[in-house]
Chain A
Amino acid sequence: MINTMECAVDAQSLISISLRKIHNSRTQRGGIKLHKNLLVSYVLRNARQVYMNEKYAEIYRMQQYEEVMTVCNEIQELNPLDLAEDCEEQSGDCCGNDGVSEPASLCCALLPVSHLTAVQSAHIQAPSACSAPLSLQSDDVCKETEPSFYRSCCAEAYPVSNWDFSTVNNNLHCNKTTVLDLDTHVVTTVENGYLHQDCCASFQQCCQGAQSPAKKRKVDFEYYISDIEEVPDFTPCKRAKFEDCSYANSEHLDTSNISNLISIFGSGFSGLVSRQADFEQALNGQFCSKQALASLGAWTRAIVAF
């Protein structure tokens, strides 16, 4: 009988079911059925993509929570009054959200972790480079975006084309979040758990292919990218250049600019990446026990290569 709890099946169980099918097919009478195994490999690929994205998002969320707490502590040290004025100026620009009033203290406006998810900033067709608006969005919007991010089951769609991080060409619907690292003053872009360092091979491709959700940027922001004016969109490619010269660029910064940036981002940071290396280490730690997933590519190839 059919299980009525269809949507309870997650990507991981699909992966194990698929691998079991492939394994069993080797002992079936009549030899391996090429057609069936090819179809199973497609399910495997789809489930793997979703699983990996979920994993990335989870790590990202955990990282982000820690960073937010760190930032919060740092913000506590700043003058709350200066920040409040800036906030009121910027509030109207931030994602056009209506109902949220800017708190006097940015720190107080830090929203609970549940809102600070790595949900796509596609909603943020923002006039500012404000990635934080995500946190200022209504609950409904957040909830709405999360299900569409990845749906584990049959009935509902999920953006497969976005989640192929084996290529860099599927960035047409990149959902990017712009974040500021207050430690290094590096502005980075993260794509919902899909770290763009994975596509570092060809940033130009990313730039050209991607639709930018952050076309209208605050003027304040642009001095950061003074040496990249030719690229209109804030896309992952900038990160490469930032990496190259980010620490050199940090000399441009002064205290007033920092405060502007903080005000732009408002009270919520949808994601922060402190150290590239740290993040990668975290990832590796997560996945060292999941080598089977990493080698799934080889698996799927192996079953058809006969």
Chain B
Amino acid sequence: VVGAGGGSNDVQWCFSQVKGAIDDDVAEADIISTVEFNHSGELLATGDKGGRVVIFQQEIENKPQCRSEYNVYSTFQSHEPEFDYLKSLEIEEKINKIRWLPQKNAAQFLLSTNDKTIKLWKISERDKRPEGYNLKEEDGRYIDPNTVTALRVPVFRPMDLMVEASPRRVFANAHTYHINSISINSDHETYLSADDLRINLWHQEITDRSFNIVDIKPANMEELTEVITAAEFHPHQCNTFVYSSSKGTIRLCDMRASALCDTHSKLFEEPEDPSNRSFFSEIISSISDVKFSHNGRYMMTRDYLSVKIWDLNMESRPVETYQVHEYLRNKLCSLYENDCIFDKFECCWNGNDSVVMTGSYNNFFRMFDRGQRRDVTLEASREGSKPQQVLKPRKVCADGKRKKDEISVDSLDFNKKILHTAWHPQDNVIAVATTNNLYIFQDKVN
């Protein structure tokens, strides 16, 4: 089975936990829309369509036999539905992306965004409270000063741990179109936000202004041919970022070159295979996610059917291409009719960039081991959810000759899709979001 490390250290993925409602009747507000580990991996944040953020914390276990579990740490309402009166448009509260800031002090900070507004949240712990006020009772009522006969100094006393989330900054009114990405710069001071046509650069402390660094809006909107689909800062070079487009191209930009980065420094594009041309070629070539590798040498892109690894030094074609679910190529008509062809799958790297992961349908997710050139398909389902139960590899049968334990393409449930996955920055722990459940899998600990 595929995992980090190589050779004989094959990872066996085991079920660890599942979070969320059990029943099949999914409330729309509970649909998970983003998943993100923080930089240490101790915290795992999810956002949902209802605008809520739930943060899980890994408990430090003393037992060496099993890994730590993730338990709810904090829950808060990040965004509410809004109404744009000028355009008569409702602004969805759905959380599109969460990004953690690097930790600077005891508190944790994250950015969460919906279609229009980005918010900086501070998550802090409170485990003691002041007691012994002279003019206030414990329940908060004021004491008549005339009744005070002696003075005392208030002291801190321990209390049950309380986790508070408070919005520290609100970055609003900078995006005409729908925000699809936020990315924090390695300078720890700035971050970018990208919508369909523009990318803005913000300072984390300043909310009333941002700099526009990319603008691909044509003078005449009738000439629009492509939109921005994702953007990310380079993990080490604070001047470099990339953005992907609906045409399947990735542009790398250097902010030192000019104030407006409409002209790219590098353009990554693979020529289309003319034999695969179809009605839906434009749709399936649209890139839904772009992620730099941790070492900053590569980037990965996800389009509808494949995952591609690009070497930043080579623009002409990817260095690796992995087919996620090629058996869907003959089904594009139906997938267009039921809108599944517009699903935006994300992808992620493991800690040492040796394995990449992405989701598929039927609650399947796929891992590709770059070094060993192997791939595996696993399933996130309640049936395989006994503690420490090893996940069994799945196989989809593309032709009619279905073997035992294989699943035919026509049996796949296209309502069960895994769009969001995350990999712990150091360990073999993965978080996989089905529609409204979050699965946590870990490698088998012997």
Contacts and interface: CB of A to CB of B under 8 A. Distances in A.
Nearest to A42: B282
Given A153-B278, A157-B277, A304-B224, A30 B90 contact: yes
Nearest to B283: A39
A275 interface: no
B142 interface: no
B92 A38 contact: no
Interface in A35-54: 35-36, 38-39, 42-43, 46-47, 50
A151 B281 CA distance: 13
Contacts of A154: 278-280, 329-333
A35 B179 CA distance: 11
A300 to B, nearest CB: 9
B89 to A, nearest CB: 4
B222 A305 contact: yes
Contact of A4 (B222, B277, B280, B410): B410
A34 interface: yes
Contacts, number: 113
Interface of A: 1-4, 6, 9, 11, 14, 17, 21, 29-31, 33-36, 38-39, 42-43, 46-47, 50, 151-160, 301, 304-306
B298 to A, nearest CB: 25
Given A157-B277, A305-B222, A3 B334 contact: yes
A27 to B, nearest CB: 11
A115 to B, nearest CB: 27
Given A154-B280, A158-B277, A35 B336 contact: no
B412 to A, nearest CB: 8
Interface in B148-185: 177-178, 180
Contact of B278 (A3, A35, A38, A158): A158
Nearest to B226: A38
Contact of A2 (B283, B342, B409): B409
A47 B90 CA distance: 32
Contacts of B282: 39, 42-43, 46
A20 B412 CA distance: 26
Contacts of B196: 34-35
A296 to B, nearest CB: 13
Contacts of B94: 30
A306 to B, nearest CB: 7
B8 interface: no
Contacts of A156: 278
Contacts of B332: 6, 153-155
B61 interface: no
A30 B90 CA distance: 5
A47 B335 CA distance: 16
Give the top 7 A-B pairs by smallest Cβ distance, nearest first.
Answer: A154-B332, A42-B282, A30-B92, A157-B277, A301-B222, A31-B89, A305-B221
24 contacts: A6-B332, A14-B279, A17-B337, A30-B94, A30-B178, A31-B87, A31-B90, A34-B196, A34-B224, A35-B227, A35-B229, A35-B246, A38-B224, A38-B225, A38-B246, A42-B282, A43-B280, A43-B336, A152-B279, A153-B278, A155-B278, A156-B278, A157-B278, A305-B221
B330 A6 contact: yes
Contacts of A31: 84, 87, 89-91, 115, 178
A24 to B, nearest CB: 10
B277 A39 contact: no
Given A42-B282, A306-B221, A30 B333 contact: no
A3 B229 CA distance: 30
A305 B92 CA distance: 22
A34 B227 contact: yes
Contacts of B286: 35, 39
A53 B100 CA distance: 53
A304 B279 CA distance: 19
Given A2-B414, A6-B334, A304-B222, A38 B279 contact: no
A161 B321 CA distance: 26
A2 B221 contact: no
Interface in B81-96: 84, 87, 89-92, 94
Interface in B307-365: 329-337, 339, 342
Contacts of B274: 157
B146 interface: no
B367 to A, nearest CB: 25
Nearest to B84: A31
Given A35-B196, A38-B226, A153-B279, 20 more contacts: A2-B335, A2-B410, A4-B410, A14-B333, A17-B337, A30-B178, A31-B115, A34-B197, A35-B246, A38-B225, A39-B283, A39-B342, A42-B283, A43-B280, A43-B282, A154-B330, A157-B277, A158-B278, A301-B222, A306-B221
B276 interface: yes
Contacts of B330: 6, 154-155
Contacts of A306: 221
Contacts of A1: 410
Nearest to B274: A157
A36 B333 contact: no
B147 interface: no
Nearest to B89: A31
A43 B87 CA distance: 28
